[in-house]
Chain A
């Protein structure tokens, strides 16, 4: 990688094996569907404003979205919520279909997107069973007064590239700068930080004593569309509601 530009933040895992495997546990029994995570992600990651028109065009760009579904039969129907973002699959279907390595697996167990490589074939998005990938159909625009709120740590993506949840890789880079090994809970992605009910937990799944590892072994655990064999890094917890 001789062409790598010199930056103050060294590329994670460059030339060394790392012991991290970043992952997340989302406790659906705590999720109220308040959408705070969505807004936090929106402002942290320089996502354009999803106005009504963009929703009508089906081009709303949400790295994390809260899916609503119903449980039970009438009249005993309950609304349930599940926040869905990129699942950072270990066996990611999106990676092997990209002709230009614009999405690949890094040493920290993250599925990362390299915007500069992306040519916009959109094959990865078709092949993602979680529908977690979003395409910039047009140049992103912000209202004039919001220009200055863009996060300087995050690239503003141009039109024609694919993007998706990065698990706030900028925060991970900052925390692991100089090969530091951050303490468990020392930093969180924006969505986790914003969750008012503490439904989301982020951390290193490779450390057995980390909060996220402990929760990952909860008996309520499941992973979405597990039958596809994608092996996601995002684990959901949900009590099976026998009364619903």
Chain B
């Protein structure tokens, strides 16, 4: 049920700026612990730089493994921010309000994390800027624009830039609030960041306009990013990669894992920051409904991928699916991927009780992301490790401790960055909440009083 929870502006300020204006002990401990894990990841990367890629589990013919899987995984997670913010903002869904900032921030940090992956995966990372930046300063030759690996950084850097702008634009009014409540050098820094925001009508109008424009402009970028990542695979000749359905299949899979990650994040945030007044059962319920639609669309694309893999009855393509579905350890992973990514959570979400239970939603959304990580792994590795025509090349892949450390560390890295962010900026936009409070209304329908929303138009 929607019922009115009227919060005063002072209460919103006090509750949402809690971690920004004071430092709780749990924050210090948690950040410290995560910092240690991140340091472990950085030393693993350093070790790998020093020794070369021989410390990974990669070989031939499996040239891509955990790093690329993780790259796709984090790009996927990053799709949540725009999905939640831009689409819901454009469609004026009220329930977006408490989750936009967290989702957008997660987008930025997970994109940074994903960008790290192909860089460290390359054989000579110190030369990578030849490729990432399309300038011919160093070599007298431009990058080859036919290569999907040129499209990749272009798309991701565009997405990173635009989503950072998106976060920043939405942050300005809140920065001004913090500025007015802090002293000393902090006041100066927040003052500079707030760009002289005073909340006059012109500023609000510009800020609103910028938000809408960025939402509309970011949507094509959002769709193109994961499509371009998918084209890394589908424009190649590798059986089971050369599939036309990959672009929308990847995008919808990304939304599936990303929105699930937002649910996880919201529930953890609610617990840690005591945001019971802001994140309600209704919000999680609404996201879960969205997730049901997304997951079933994903299933349709997955099914198309499977059916059309068998369509031509090509030996190599069959070999890949044989490996994926029937041969250990891939068959186990495949089973896990499908049960965790779809078969357990989606039927559960059909129940209103589950959708409105924070515990259930925390676990179901977490397992979706385990499943989706495996999905990406199953797309990449078995396609390379299949029983191809070259019998001396039949080999599989097993990740090394270094790779596992980096994967674990990447989760810690994103959480660590989010915690740091929450120390300096509120994770729930104050002004969105205040606006939302204004729009809550009631209406008399027949004999009943029904909660209602004010719509301007």
Direct A–B touching, Cβ under 8 Å = yes
**A-side interface residues toward B, CB under 8 Å?**
1-3, 57-60, 65, 67-69, 84, 93, 96-101, 117-123, 125-127, 129-131, 134-139, 158-162, 225, 228
Known: A58-B59, A93-B236, A126-B63. A159 touches B144 (CB 8 A): no
- How far, in whole Å, are A158 and B390 apart by their CA atoms in the complex? 27
**A99, B123: Cβ atoms under 8 Å?**
no
**B144, A96: Cβ atoms under 8 Å?**
yes
A133 → B minimal CB distance (Å): 8
**B-side interface residues toward A, CB under 8 Å?**
51-54, 56, 58-64, 118, 121-125, 127-128, 130-131, 139-141, 143-144, 146-150, 232, 235-238, 384, 388-393, 395
**A137, B59: Cβ atoms under 8 Å?**
yes
B69 → A minimal CB distance (Å): 14
Q: Which A residues are in CB contact (< 8 Å) with B61?
A: 125-126, 131
**A119, B390: Cβ atoms under 8 Å?**
no
**A97, B236: Cβ atoms under 8 Å?**
yes
A97 → B minimal CB distance (Å): 5
Known: A121-B118, A162-B123. 13 other contacts (CB 8 A): A2-B140, A59-B59, A96-B147, A97-B147, A98-B144, A100-B131, A117-B139, A119-B127, A121-B122, A122-B123, A123-B148, A134-B60, A160-B124
Q: Which A residues are in CB contact (< 8 Å) with B390?
A: 67, 84, 130-131
**B140, A99: Cβ atoms under 8 Å?**
no
Q: Which A residues are in CB contact (< 8 Å) with B128?
A: 119
**A127, B236: Cβ atoms under 8 Å?**
yes
**B60, A159: Cβ atoms under 8 Å?**
no
**A126, B238: Cβ atoms under 8 Å?**
yes
B49 → A minimal CB distance (Å): 10
Q: Which B residues are in CB contact (< 8 Å) with A98?
A: 144, 147, 149
Known: A99-B150, A131-B390, A131-B393. A161 touches B123 (CB 8 A): yes
**B391, A68: Cβ atoms under 8 Å?**
yes
Q: Which A residues are in CB contact (< 8 Å) with B122?
A: 119-121, 160
Residue of A nearest to B61 (CB): A131
Q: Which A residues are in CB contact (< 8 Å) with B63?
A: 122, 125-126, 135
Main secondary structure of the interface of A (DSSP, over half): loop
Residue of A nearest to B124 (CB): A160
**B123, A120: Cβ atoms under 8 Å?**
yes
- How far, in whole Å, are A107 and B130 apart by their CA atoms in the complex? 25
- How far, in whole Å, are A138 and B63 apart by their CA atoms in the complex? 14
B103 → A minimal CB distance (Å): 31
- How far, in whole Å, are A59 and B58 apart by their CA atoms in the complex? 8
**B51, A126: Cβ atoms under 8 Å?**
no
Q: Which B residues are in CB contact (< 8 Å) with A137?
A: 52-54, 56, 58-59
Q: Which B residues are in CB contact (< 8 Å) with A135?
A: 53, 60, 63, 123
Residue of B nearest to A228 (CB): B237
Known: A118-B123, A125-B63, A160-B123. A99 touches B391 (CB 8 A): no
- How far, in whole Å, are A65 and B61 apart by their CA atoms in the complex? 14
16 A-B residue pairings within 8 Å (CB atoms):
A3-B140, A58-B60, A58-B395, A60-B60, A98-B144, A99-B131, A99-B149, A99-B150, A100-B143, A126-B384, A127-B236, A131-B390, A159-B52, A159-B53, A161-B123, A162-B123
**A100, B237: Cβ atoms under 8 Å?**
no
**B123, A159: Cβ atoms under 8 Å?**
yes
A1 → B minimal CB distance (Å): 7
Residue from A3, A67, A120, A162 having most chain B Cβ neighbours under 10 A: A120
Among the listed B58, B147, B388, B389, which residue makes an inter-chain contact with A123, where contact means beta carbons less than 8 Å apart? B147
Residue of B nearest to A229 (CB): B237
Among the listed B59, B130, B148, which residue makes an inter-chain contact with A119, where contact means beta carbons less than 8 Å apart? B130
**B237, A99: Cβ atoms under 8 Å?**
no
**B144, A67: Cβ atoms under 8 Å?**
no
A23 → B minimal CB distance (Å): 21
Residue of B nearest to A123 (CB): B149
Q: Which B residues are in CB contact (< 8 Å) with A117?
A: 130, 139, 141
- How far, in whole Å, are A240 and B282 apart by their CA atoms in the complex? 71
- How far, in whole Å, are A234 and B59 apart by their CA atoms in the complex? 26
Q: Which A residues are in CB contact (< 8 Å) with B123?
A: 118-122, 135-136, 159-162
**A127, B140: Cβ atoms under 8 Å?**
no
- How far, in whole Å, are A77 and B75 apart by their CA atoms in the complex? 51
**A69, B391: Cβ atoms under 8 Å?**
yes
B66 → A minimal CB distance (Å): 14
Q: Which B residues are in CB contact (< 8 Å) with A123?
A: 147-149, 232, 236
Among the listed A2, A65, A160, which residue makes an inter-chain contact with B53, where contact means beta carbons less than 8 Å apart? A160
- How far, in whole Å, are A130 and B393 apart by their CA atoms in the complex? 10
**A57, B59: Cβ atoms under 8 Å?**
yes
Q: Which B residues are in CB contact (< 8 Å) with A1?
A: 140
- How far, in whole Å, are A160 and B52 apart by their CA atoms in the complex? 7
Residue of A nearest to B152 (CB): A99
- How far, in whole Å, are A67 and B390 apart by their CA atoms in the complex? 7
Q: Which B residues are in CB contact (< 8 Å) with A67?
A: 390-392
